[in-house]
Structure 1
Amino acid sequence: MSKKKEMEIYKDIKLAITQHKLLPNMQLVEDSLAEAFQVSRTPIRNVLRRLAMEKLVTVIPYRGAFVSCPSVEEARAVFEMRRIIESAMVSKLCGIVVPEQIAQLEALLKEEHQASHAGDIVGALDVTVDFHLKLAELADNTYYYHFLEELISLTAVIIALYGTNQNFCHDHEDLIGAIVRKDGEQAARIMTEHLLQIERSLNFTVSTTNVLNLSDIFQY
């Protein structure tokens, strides 16, 4: 089994979690995953171990691996850390941004609007993730990107569990405006309020949803 194949499996399972195909508390059975991906259990076990380190999967001894189900306290902690990191991140970006980078952000904002107007919720969420990670990339600090990537993945699990149907595209538009003006304080305020609004939109009530079986999700 090549490391490349193992990485593909890792990306596919992580994407299924963040796109809400695999929902919180769903058991990830090694044999079923191995059959779905047509591999042995060893790479599946390695992938689940890596996802557990990223807090996307919880491994319970003698029971197996499950998609993580963050508590309300854990969910609030994730948003708290995102506010700390992302407000500092955009404040720094305002001091170093160049026009070409603004164009990249505006292109993502356009994609987000298009997906939202088309009713493509998953697509809009995917672009939202790309927008926030692009901010981290442009802030020129690899640690921003590294930690934010993990926190955003956890946010996707939280949204899958506690739900939100609100659209926050206008926040991104206001944020770009502040970055264009190189107003670090305003950018930080907009980001902080943006993340607070998302947190407030969650109902923190667990709901159950029918999910596809693993073979249907991972069609190989």
Structure 2
Amino acid sequence: MSQANETEIYKAIKEAIIQQKLRPNMQLVEDVIAESFGVSRTPVRNVLRRLAIEKLVTVIPYKGTFVSCPTVEEAKEVFEMRRVLEAAAIRKVCHRLTEEQFRQLELVLEEEEEFHRQGDWFGALRITGDFHLKIAEMAGNFYFYRYLEELVSLTYVIIAFYGKRHSIFCQDHKRILHAMRLGDEHLSERLMTDHLKEIEAELDFGEAGAAPASLNDIFRPKKVST
């Protein structure tokens, strides 16, 4: 199977998690997914391994692969760690932000706004993560980006389980970017920290969530050629 097809399966499963079609604790059966995409189990197994590395799914020996289900405490720890990492990253970037980097972040926010206008919740959520990761990348510390990438992926699962679909704090990002442009590290850090706290505050930790559809129902329209 080609890498392109494997990537398509990866994107479809990840999108299904973020769009709350695949709910936490739901089992991902290799045979069913393979049949839905018209492929062998090998590429499906590769995709599930990749998703496991990103902490989006959990592999339980002798039982199978399940969509990750962070507890309330784990969810809070993710946001606590994000505040620590992203505060440090944005302080560094404020001292070194170039015009080209500023324009890159502006383009990300323009794309985010476009997704909002189109009513594309999944696209807006993905770009929200890209904005944060781009700042970590610009900080010039490999570990900022590496660990934040994992935390952002976990945030997708947390929002899928505990969140509700509404605005993805577009205006927060604009204010953060404006403070960065001014080179005000203290304001930038405070705005970023408040932004992450607001996202966490919007989560409903008492919500159990609706019952998911079957894997066949979720992936039936997604056919790729072998």
1:208 partnered with 2:210: yes
Partner of 1:102: 102
Contact between 2:18 and 2:122, CA under 8 Å: does it hold in 1? no
1:117 is displaced (CA, Å) by: 3.7
Superposed CA RMSD in Å reads 2.1
Residue correspondence of structure 1 range 66-145 to structure 2 within 5 A: 66-145=66-145
**Stretch moving more, 6-15 or 192-201:** 6-15
- Matched to 1:115, the amino acid is F
1:132 is displaced (CA, Å) by: 1.3
1:58 is displaced (CA, Å) by: 1.6
- Matched to 2:184, the amino acid is D
1:65 is displaced (CA, Å) by: 1.2
- Matched to 1:218, the amino acid is K
> Any unmatched runs of 5+ in structure 1?
none
Contact between 1:116 and 1:124, CA under 8 Å: does it hold in 2? yes
Q: Which runs of 4+ in 1 moved over 6 A?
A: none
Task: Quickly say closer, same or farther: Cα 1:121–1:95, change in 2 above 3 A.
Answer: same
Contact between 2:22 and 2:212, CA under 8 Å: does it hold in 1? no
Contact between 1:56 and 1:157, CA under 8 Å: does it hold in 2? yes
Partner of 2:162: 162
Contact between 2:105 and 2:134, CA under 8 Å: does it hold in 1? yes
Partner of 2:188: 187
Partner of 2:55: 55
Could you give the per-residue CA deviations for residues 52-104 of structure 1, whole angstroms, max 9, x where no partner exists?
Answer: 23221122333321111111011011111111111111111001111111112
1:179 is displaced (CA, Å) by: 0.5
Measured in 2, the distance between the counterparts of 1:43 and 1:174 equals 42
SS in 1 for 2:123: helix
SS in 1 for 2:59: strand
> Any unmatched runs of 5+ in structure 2?
none
**Stretch moving more, 70-79 or 161-170:** 161-170
Contact between 1:18 and 1:153, CA under 8 Å: does it hold in 2? no
How many corresponding residue pairs?
Answer: 220
TM-score (norm 2): 0.87
1:27 partnered with 2:37: no
Contact between 2:23 and 2:212, CA under 8 Å: does it hold in 1? no
**Identical columns (%):** 55
Partner of 1:219: 223
